[in-house]
Amino acid sequence: MKNYRDLILWQKSVELVLDIYKLTEQFPQKEFFGITAQIRRCAVSIPSNVAEGFGRKPNKEFMRFLTIAMGSLFELQTQLFISLKLDFINQEIHKIVYSDTREIEIILKTLIEKLKTNRNSTDKQ
């Protein structure tokens, strides 16, 4: 891979951000500086940390940024659940967006595990 933009993880994360922005446009105006801003911030954090981590060397640093992205993803999942409970989104929309976050979660976990395995094999040499 030449750059972070080649990563499926980054591409899917950016798509998620766009979907989150469209979704939160429908949230109550009184929540603009509340949960709307927080949801957007943690969504943007996911591809941003993937990109920043990609530029770091060695892979240990990249893994650190991927784990930060994972934390932001879990935060987003939680906030989406809260939004569902507050009736800001309906069950159907929640299911779709949550499914998208789970797909990214699996890709993130797989990449982190692959980097750990590569690091462990390098450490043994």
CATH code for position 65: 1.20.1440.60
**H-only helix segments in the chain:** 8-24, 35-54, 59-85, 91-124
Provide the b/e sequence for 29-48 (b: ≥16 CB within 10 Å). eebeeebbebbbebbbbbbb
Q: List the pLDDT tens digit at each of the 125 positions of the chain.
A: 689 999 999 999 999 999 999 999 999 999 999 999 999 999 999 999 999 999 887 788 999 999 999 999 999 999 999 999 999 999 999 999 999 999 999 999 999 999 988 766 555 54
Half-sphere exposure of 45 (CA within 13 A, CB side): 18
Residue 124 falls within a domain, yes or no?
Answer: no
Range of the domain at 39: 4-119
State residue 125's pLDDT score.
Answer: 46
State residue 122's pLDDT score.
Answer: 55
Q: Are 21 and 82 in contact (CB under 8 A)?
A: no
State residue 120's pLDDT score.
Answer: 64
pTM of the model: 0.91
Residue 32 falls within a domain, yes or no?
Answer: yes
Residue 16 falls within a domain, yes or no?
Answer: yes
Residue 58 falls within a domain, yes or no?
Answer: yes
Task: Report how many domains make up the chain.
Answer: 1
